[in-house]
Amino acid sequence: MNASRPPPPDRASPRCQVAGTGAWLPERILTNADLEKLVETSDEWIVSRTGIRERRIADEGVHTSTMGAKAATRALERAGIPAREVDAILCATITPDMPFPCTACLIQREIGADRAFCFDLEAACTGFIYGLEIGRRLIESNAYKTILVVASEKLSSVTDWKDRNTCVLFGDGAGAVVVGPTTEEEAAAGRGILSTHLFTDGSLANALLIPGGGSKEPFSADVLEKRRHLVHMTGQDVFKAAVRYLAASARAALDANHVTPAELDWVVAHQANMRILQALSQRVEIPMERFVVNIHKYGNTSSASIPIVLDEALGEGKIKPGQTVLMCALGAGISWGSALIRW
């Protein structure tokens, strides 16, 4: 492990750091055995093809904003920053409480961050990395001091519980980080958000989507009957893209910072499929022991998965100050990206 490594000599000191993290998961557990009663599937198939054993499901009165507000409050507590000091709330989600206003506004109301301007961003499972990039740039502009990046998903509300291809994959939950300027000590030690790389390939937009319920196919009896308001996925196309592009975005992060795979302490990647994580591990030559994994407990929580697994790794004392953490994600769009942080 590489604690307290100095910054690469040819790079400026990082100006932005994650000041606190938080997560919130609903208590209700849906196991693979429960799913066996809903669709023609088996615990053996789900575990061997995905690594998922159970996922959390939010109760009816718990919305994306409810979960996001709880994760945000925890992140602010960890950062020691009162809600009224938050300059902006960005909420990454594909399951907003409603088409508008944005879920970030509802989180603001819930946590009392009344000085903050608020907006949602929609980059599916890559949403948290996109949010981190925007948060980082807002801080680096010197115009703002505290940005709350929240990622919250109630995927159970858009899951087709009759489709075994997709219903076994998803779960509900939220994560959040507070992004702020580096302290003098952090900057001198080269600690902070070192890079973010974002990518999109719209030609693969049809591989993973909710086709109905938007302006193209407004909600109607026909949309409802054909279940077009729910998630549709061509799993193998997304799988192949994930392996290829996650590896490429990981290399982009490492190359940009002159960090070798051997120097990396942790990989905090989107938790979509254990086999994708294993393929990534092989392609970038980073052993699985350095991947933080919780897919077996929560399934795929889309944009929320990285801040949830990050918060868990920090809570367990895995990630220590001075260590280098690679994040990468891929999702609908398709969109993908990576971030490198020295903690």
Active site residues: 125, 270, 300
Q: How do beta strands 88-92 and 173-181 pair?
A: unpaired
Segment near ligand UT7 (CB under 6 A); pick from 25-33, 132-140, 143-151, 269-277 = 269-277
Q: Which residues of 101-113 are buried (b: 16+ CB within 10 A; e: fewer)?
A: ebbbbbbbebbeb
Q: Which of residues 89-148 bind ligand UT7 (CB under 6 A)?
A: 125
Site string for ligand UT7, 23-62 (x = CB under 6 A): ------------------x---xx--xx------------
Task: Decide if residue 67 touches ligand UT7 (CB under 6 A).
Answer: no
**Bridge partner list, 152:** 174
Interface residue with ligand UT7 among 259, 276, 313, 314 (CB under 6 A) is 276
**Cβ of residue 309: shortest distance to ligand UT7, in angstroms?**
13
DSSP, collapsed to helix, strand or coil, labels residue 286 as coil
Size of the site for ligand UT7 (CB under 6 A): 20
DSSP 80-111: T--GGG--EEEEE-SS-SSSSS-HHHHHHHHH
**Cβ of residue 234: shortest distance to ligand UT7, in angstroms?**
8
* Cα 48 to chain centroid, rounded: 23
Task: Decide if residue 165 touches ligand UT7 (CB under 6 A).
Answer: yes
Task: Decide if residue 159 touches ligand UT7 (CB under 6 A).
Answer: no
Geometric angle at alpha carbon 219, from 217 and 221, rounded to 5°? 110
Using the minimum distance from each CB to ligand UT7, give the nearer residue, 48 or 260.
48
**Cβ of residue 332: shortest distance to ligand UT7, in angstroms?**
7
Using the minimum distance from each CB to ligand UT7, give the nearer residue, 142 or 236.
236
Interface residue with ligand UT7 among 130, 239, 291, 336 (CB under 6 A) is 239
Segment near ligand UT7 (CB under 6 A); pick from 92-100, 133-141, 164-172, 180-188 = 164-172
A 10 A CB-CB count for 269 gives: 27
Q: Provide the binding-site residues for ligand UT7, judged by CB under 6 A.
A: 41, 45-46, 49-50, 125, 164-165, 168, 235-236, 238-239, 242, 272-273, 276, 300, 330-331
